[in-house]
């Protein structure tokens, strides 16, 4: 028997928005992955999504984040793919990275009874950050969908 995983873009709900520490959310996109073969912890899913892709994909992710001037970290247990873990419990995991150009991003991974929810929340602190985000947004959405589809394929 084969299980088909479906990735969908959905609206943010209040429970998800309650996970952010951003003073203002200028952009949010939420994707769900369902069904999954085995629901794991939010941290495990974040690692599967962000650290599980092939090396070439991980290098492209890091290059994209570097282009956004995000300050990434290495070699720490409280880091996933360069993003600092700022909240971890059984309901959700929140990662955060910020840049000198005024962009702060949070990646939230939640696990519900039948979905993995992966969200990007962004605060754009100035016109330069807004312009840059507008230019990368279409690619960002494509990459997130691809990361989730890859995670589904690796866990089936």
| Strand ranges, E, within 1-156 | 6-10, 27-34, 79-80, 83-88, 92-98, 103-111, 116-124
- pLDDT at residue 1 in the model: 36
Q: What angle do CA 148, 144, 115 make, to 5 degrees?
A: 40
- pLDDT at residue 35 in the model: 58
Nearest to 105 by CA among 67, 74, 146, 75: 67
The string of pLDDT tens digits covering residues 99-118 is 999 999 999 999 988 889 99
Higher pLDDT, 76 or 86: 86
Task: Compute the average pLDDT of residues 59-68.
Answer: 95
Domains, in order of start, for the chain: 6-155 (3.30.530)
- pLDDT at residue 145 in the model: 96
- pLDDT at residue 38 in the model: 63
- pLDDT at residue 45 in the model: 94
Give pTM, 2 decimals: 0.93
Say what the alpha-carbon torsion angle 38, 143, 28, 69 is, to the nearest 10 degrees: 120
Task: Compute the average pLDDT of residues 49-58.
Answer: 96
Give yes or no for residue 130 having a pLDDT over 60. yes
Sheet holding 92-98, edge to edge: 6-10, 27-34, 116-124, 103-111, 92-98, 83-88, 79-80
* Helix (H/G/I), strand (E/B), else coil: 147: helix
* Helix (H/G/I), strand (E/B), else coil: 112: coil
Please tell me the distance from the alpha carbon of residue 29 to that of residue 105, in angstroms, as a whole number.
12
| Average pLDDT over the chain, rounded to an integer | 92
Please tell me the distance from the alpha carbon of residue 116 to that of residue 34, in angstroms, as a whole number.
7
The string of pLDDT tens digits covering residues 8-25 is 999 999 999 999 999 999
Q: What percent of the chain has pLDDT over 90?
A: 83
């Amino acid at each position: 028997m084969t299980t088909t995983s479906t990735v969908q873009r959905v609206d943010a709900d209040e429970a998800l928005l309650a996970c952010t520490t951003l003073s203002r959310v200028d952009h949010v996109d939420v994707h769900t992955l369902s069904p999954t073969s085995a629901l794991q912890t939010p941290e495990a899913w974040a690692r599967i999504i962000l650290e599980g892709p092939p090396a070439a994909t991980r290098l492209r992710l890091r290059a994209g984040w570097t282009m956004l001037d995000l300050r990434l970290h290495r070699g720490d247990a409280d880091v996933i793919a360069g993003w600092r873990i700022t909240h971890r419990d059984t309901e959700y995991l929140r990662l955060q990275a910020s840049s000198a150009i005024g962009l702060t991003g949070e990646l939230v991974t939640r696990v519900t009874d039948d979905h993995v929810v992966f969200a990007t929340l962004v605060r754009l602190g100035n016109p330069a950050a807004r312009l840059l985000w507008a230019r990368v947004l279409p690619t960002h959405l494509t990459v997130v969908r691809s990361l989730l589809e890859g995670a589904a394929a690796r866990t089936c």
